[in-house]
Amino acid sequence: SADLGLDIGAQGESLGYRPD
């Protein structure tokens, strides 16, 4: 979710967040 700033999965990758 963009409003959270970080997400798990493809959305997170779009935001620049890389889940381990």
- One digit per residue, pLDDT tens: the chain, 20 residues? 555 555 566 555 555 656 55
Claim: this prediction has a pTM higher than 0.85: no
CA distance 20 to 3: 20
pLDDT of residue 19: 57
- Cα separations (Å) of 8 from 3, 15, 20? 13, 10, 9
3-state secondary structure (DSSP) of residue 16: coil
Residue type, 20: D
